[in-house]
Chain A
Amino acid sequence: MASAPSRTLTDFFQPASKRLKPTLPASCKSDDANASTLSVDQKLRMEYNKLLAKSKRNLKLCVERVSKSKESGLGGVKLEELLVEETWLEALPGELQKPYALTLSKFVESEISGGDGVIFPPTHLIFNALNSTPFHTVKAVILGQDPYHGPGQAMGLSFSVPEGIKVPSSLVNIFKELHQDLGCSIPTHGNLQKWAVQGVLLLNAVLTVRKHQANSHAKKGWEQFTDVVIKTISQKKEGVVFLLWGNSAREKSRLIDARKHHVLTAAHPSGLSANRGFFGCRHFSRTNQLLEQMGIDPIDWQL
């Protein structure tokens, strides 16, 4: 097992160095001095931390906007103000100003005004999936249905729960499959932000939910918005891996151009269906194989 990652990284070194030469002639010169050459590990670490910092700034900006709107005493912050990642605003021009989105925005704002803790995820995390995975970094998409509806669980990333919250059974099954597939150890927490920062878009079809009422915000307009997100990825990018688990997610394959992208399907990881087609799907290793074939850095799935 120890040798496998090493070989993988070695395989990546050549394509990376080849790509670097044309664009960085200065770097080519500095190659003569070994001490100044960054290793592949160091480059990956830097890129990850840079993206993580961007994610933190986006989150901080959302928190500030929510606080400001509360202080002003006006109605809640507008939905469009909570999507702060510029690359998505460029990829989805004017989407949140369309009539259906304004209707959706009014609905969500009225629900939120019913009191703190009534709507999940917390207001500043509604667009966390997009704010944490910039458009240009999307390598894979994992589609969920709607946020967890228990207190403290939802964090705007599909299947993910914050540290300190009990790992839901669907996510436990995902970790079991990951362990079986790639030998990753089972993490003590269910926070998938590390995946999101690396380019795995953890998108729910519906981005809000009423407390304790599963799928209560379905058919309010979220599906139209997230369908546009999926279509935009399909149209404007190439070689994205879509992991579609369960019938609801599989229905979205009609939005994806399978000639340009890779679509992996399996049963849902929930306790009721994990044994009928999720366990054994090996989607994590298959995703990394596909990425490597395209010369893209694989996902480090170990949390």
Chain B
Amino acid sequence: MTNTSNSLSFSLSRVSKMFSGSQFDATTAFSGGGFTSSQPSTLNDSSPAPSNSRETPGLVPVTVKQISEASQSGDEKSNFVINGVDLNNVTLVGMMFEKVERNTDVSFVLDDGTGRIKCRRWINEAFDTKEMEAVMNDMYVRVYGHLKSFQGVKQLVAFSVRPVTNFDEIPFHFIDCIHNHLRSKIKVEGITSANPSSGSSLETPVKSAPNRSQASNPVCAQHSVDGLKGIDKLVMDYLEQHSDRSDGRGIHVDELSRELKLPIEKIKLSLKTLADDGEIYSTIDDDHYKKA
């Protein structure tokens, strides 16, 4: 019993050296004495990731199927991508098959029920040998590794392979994959949902403009019912009424500001909004506009 405990602690100690401190809390892992507590710790450590969706996660739980669908954007040295998220280190749980031991490495195939993937564990020191001796064919194992592409075939270069002793770990791993997948999807969609927010922030100045202008410019009063589009409408109406100028140069922003009695900044903001929507376009330079 004592030996088992020491072996487990030693194993966790090895694992903790492979991750940055922020990603794996060795103290928590030791005090937990098992897998259950270490996983929440990992999840907690991952929580800062949402603040920056482009940040590469430290360790990503995946299934073999997800790996098979991962795309590699460039040459073989670049990272794999799943759902637009870069993979660096991954972890899988599955059954070991076709274990082959050599002096330099131990290779095996991992089958997690969604597919099979070749894995390789390079033997560099006594610890590597000892850990690989503890696992054998037909045994469930937890693998930590880095994805590689070798002659077009995806492979996992493992740096830790441990036997699964608490079989709750198997369904937990699949739930962890689902959780991570959904979270990365939310990130992607979150970026999209940010656009309306950005849009509304652009609209805010326009909203306030009519109110402010009412005090200083009676002309705007008659258009207050148009709300946030009041100035845009004034600009569009003016461009339309003067669209037949013989020189074809378009209307200068200074003329719009003068004739509509509005500050040049508000005119330019309105012109930008209308141009982005394709309602108007700049003509001979960025200061002359025409209705499209």
Q: Are B278 and A57 in contact (CB under 8 A)?
A: yes
Q: Are A49 and B246 in contact (CB under 8 A)?
A: no
Q: Mark B68-86, 1 if CB is under 8 A from A, else 0.
A: 0101011000000101100
Q: Are B74 and A166 in contact (CB under 8 A)?
A: yes
Measured CA separation A272–B81 after assembly (Å): 23
- A30 within 8 Å of B by Cβ? yes
CB-CB under 8 A for A30 and B277, given A42-B283, A166-B74: no
Q: What A residues does B275 contact at CB under 8 A?
A: 53
Measured CA separation A166–B71 after assembly (Å): 13
Min Cβ gap B149→A in Å is 15
Mark out the residues of chain B between 231 and 277 whose CB falls within 8 Å of any chain A CB in the assembled complex: 246-250, 275-277
Q: What B residues does A57 contact at CB under 8 A?
A: 277-279, 292
Min Cβ gap B41→A in Å is 30
Q: Are B84 and A151 in contact (CB under 8 A)?
A: yes
The range of chain B's interface size is: 20 to 34
- A96 within 8 Å of B by Cβ? no
- B122 within 8 Å of A by Cβ? no
Size of interface on A: residues with Cβ below 8 Å to B: 25
Q: Are B281 and A49 in contact (CB under 8 A)?
A: yes
Min Cβ gap A35→B in Å is 8
Q: What A residues does B278 contact at CB under 8 A?
A: 52-60
| Residue on A nearest B247 in the bound complex, by CB | A36
Where chain B touches its partner, the secondary structure class is loop
Measured CA separation A42–B249 after assembly (Å): 9
Measured CA separation A58–B292 after assembly (Å): 12
- A50 within 8 Å of B by Cβ? yes
B residues engaging A (CB < 8 A)?
Answer: 69, 71, 73-74, 81, 83-84, 185, 188-189, 246-250, 275-285, 290, 292
Q: Are B277 and A60 in contact (CB under 8 A)?
A: yes
Measured CA separation A186–B189 after assembly (Å): 32
Min Cβ gap A24→B in Å is 10
Q: Are A212 and B249 in contact (CB under 8 A)?
A: no
| Residue on A nearest B284 in the bound complex, by CB | A42
| Residue on A nearest B189 in the bound complex, by CB | A116
Known A46-B248, A53-B292; 16 more pairs at CB < 8 Å? A30-B247, A36-B249, A38-B247, A46-B283, A46-B290, A50-B290, A53-B279, A54-B292, A55-B278, A57-B277, A57-B292, A59-B278, A60-B278, A151-B81, A166-B73, A212-B71
Across the interface, B83 reaches (CB within 8 A) one of A42, A54, A58, A151, namely A151
Q: Are B247 and A53 in contact (CB under 8 A)?
A: no
Q: Mark A196-236, 1 if CB is under 8 A from B, else 0.
A: 00000000000000001000000000000000000000000
